[in-house]
Amino acid sequence: MAVLQLEDITQEFGGLRALDLVNLAVDEQQIFGIIGPNGAGKTTLFNIITGIYRPTGGKVIFKDHLLNNMSPWNVARIGIGRTFQNIRLFNKLSVLDNVRVGSHGVGKSGFWGCILGLPGERREEKAIIEQTEKLLELVGLYDKRWEYADNLAYGEQRRLEIARAMALKPSLLLLDEPAAGMNSTEKTELMDLIWKIRNDMHLTILLVEHDMNLVMNICEEIAVLDYGRKIADGSPEEIKNDERVIQSYLGAEA
């Protein structure tokens, strides 16, 4: 069953049609890849799903929610976590605090609880610390937990973004070019990490990535965007052998 469904999504910026009648159906616990040349509209698609843009036309449906007019923080609270292509960390907060902020959307403590340290708040804080430490171990940043986020290396920052998104306990995780700027060892580790997250935590992953090796290895289904249009959709094998895809995208890479 599709957990995320995009129906005839269109996005216009002034005269530019960044997305043109795009349809997608992402199944539960699938790793779904979106590929395409620069400027194809991949990030725009993520921004529409997460409420940053309101689509000009079409529908975004997640479980039984219509996301079209939902604000980003609301989208996060119903279980959609994301990372950013141009890394957006809380630079002057520690690695630990970055992940702790990530759990905001599933937290409950209010003003009086926070200011007076009421029992419920303390219990929640303890649970958050435990979860945060687990996530930092998972992404291999536990030893760096006291560092400021902007002191981390590029690849570490990307993994921190994943840990922060996971703190939301999302059922759908959107990763926007998580391997960008990583070396090949890091990429292999990232691949393992994505697998592990999906298998252990049973979530659905939507992945935008330019690294074809990673995409073909890890994704169960792939959609190809070109100039805002979806030109193909299928298994990695089908995509590799699709004439239009080879012409417009893969050919250029080879």
Partner 1 sequence: MDALLSQYIDPYYLRILMLIGINIILALGLNLITGVTGQLSMGHAGFMSLGAYTSAILSMQLGCPFFLSLLAGAAMAALFGFFIGIPTLRLEGDYLAMVTIGFAEIIRVFFLNFEPGGKAVGMSGIPQNTTFLLVWTLVIIVVVLNAKLLNSRLGRAFYAIRENEIAAEASGINTTRLKVLAFTAGSFLAGLGGGLYAHYMYFIRPQDFGFMKSIELLNMVVLGGMGSIPGTILGSVILTLLPEMLRVVAEYRLLFYGALLVILMIFRPNGLLGDVRVYDIKKKFARKKVGSWQSSN
Ligand X SMILES: Nc1ncnc2c1ncn2[C@@H]1O[C@H](COP(=O)(O)OP(=O)(O)OP(=O)(O)O)[C@@H](O)[C@H]1O
Binding site for partner 1 (CB under 8 A): 50, 52, 71-73, 76-77, 81-82, 84, 88-94, 97, 100-107, 109-111, 113-117, 121, 124-125, 128-129, 133, 146-148, 164-165, 167-168
CB atoms closer than 10 angstroms to residue 60:
24
In the list 3, 6, 18, 24, the residue contacting ligand X (rule: CB under 6 A) is: 18
Interface stretch with ligand X, choices 33-41, 60-68, 89-97, 239-247 (CB under 6 A)? 33-41
Verify binding: residue 85, Mg ion, rule CB under 5 A: yes
In the list 4, 26, 35, 44, the residue contacting ligand X (rule: CB under 6 A) is: 44
Site string for ligand X, 153-192 (x = CB under 6 A): ----------------------------------------
Verify binding: residue 40, ligand X, rule CB under 6 A: yes
The DSSP H or E segment spanning 218 is: helix 212-218
168, 76 Cβ separation under 8 angstroms:
yes
What sign results for the dihedral spanned by CA atoms 22, 227, 248, 29? negative
- Binding partner of residue 7 among Mg ion, ligand X, partner 1, none, CB cut-off 5 to 8 Å per kind: none
Kindly give, in sequence order, each residue whose CB lies less than 8 Å from that of residue 3, ignoring residues fewer than 6 positions away.
26, 27, 28, 62, 63, 171, 172, 204
Kindly give, in sequence order, each residue whose CB lies less than 8 Å from that of residue 26, ignoring residues fewer than 6 positions away.
2, 3, 4, 5, 32, 172, 204, 206, 221
CB atoms closer than 10 angstroms to residue 239:
24
- Binding partner of residue 40 among Mg ion, partner 1, ligand X, none, CB cut-off 5 to 8 Å per kind: ligand X
The contact set with ligand X (CB under 6 A) reads 13, 16, 18, 36, 38-44, 85
